[in-house]
Amino acid sequence: MSQEESRRLNIVLYSDDVTVRAHVAAALGTRVAPDLAPHSITEFATGPALRLYVDGKARSGDHEIDLFILDGEAAPEGGMGVARQLKDELFNCPPVLVMTARKEDAWLATWSRAEANVLHPIDPFTLAHTVADLLRSSIARIKA
């Protein structure tokens, strides 16, 4: 197994609500699918902390973020605005998953350029399946 194939996947999770972060982490466990490497989740409660982390990774040349999961209902800075900013500012931005409160908010997730969205309350099976698909696309993007 090559170093790239054996490296731990890195998921960045943003929500101001500790309960949402806990539910997402519990739903994803440490590995979402048998064909994917184990993952770690780096959690953020504020947009500025997330941006500092991403900027620090960019400055150090460490671009090993495989997926962003952002809470569209976070306050005062919603995940959809953060998603749009990441897509505008990060070269080859990893896939973004936005969690929204209503099915009708899917168009906002599209506006934010997120690759996928799931609904609150979190359905663990839907979330894990969606995350696995996005991680596979992220790995394919890195290999290309």
Rounded CA-CA distance 25/41 in Å is 7
Strand partners, 114: none
In the predicted structure, residue 118 carries a pLDDT above the cut 90: yes
What's the CA gap between 118 and 121, in Å, rounded? 9
Q: For residue range 23-76, list pLDDT tens digits in order.
A: 999 999 999 999 999 999 999 999 999 999 999 987 887 778 999 999 999 999
Report the pLDDT value the prediction gives residue 1, as an integer from 0 to 100: 43
For residues 94 and 116, give the distance between their C-alpha atoms in angstroms, rounded to a whole number.
Answer: 12
Rounded to two decimals, what is the model's pTM?
0.93
Cα(28)–Cα(12) distance, rounded to whole angstroms?
12
pLDDT exceeds 80 at position 2: no
pLDDT single digits (tens) 129-142: 999 999 999 888 77
Percent of the chain with pLDDT over 70: 95
What CATH code is assigned to 3-143? 3.40.50.2300
What pLDDT score was predicted for residue 110?
Answer: 93
Q: If you average pLDDT over residues 79-102, what whole number do you get?
A: 95
Kindly indicate the confidence band of residue 5, based on its pLDDT and cuts at 50, 70 and 90: low
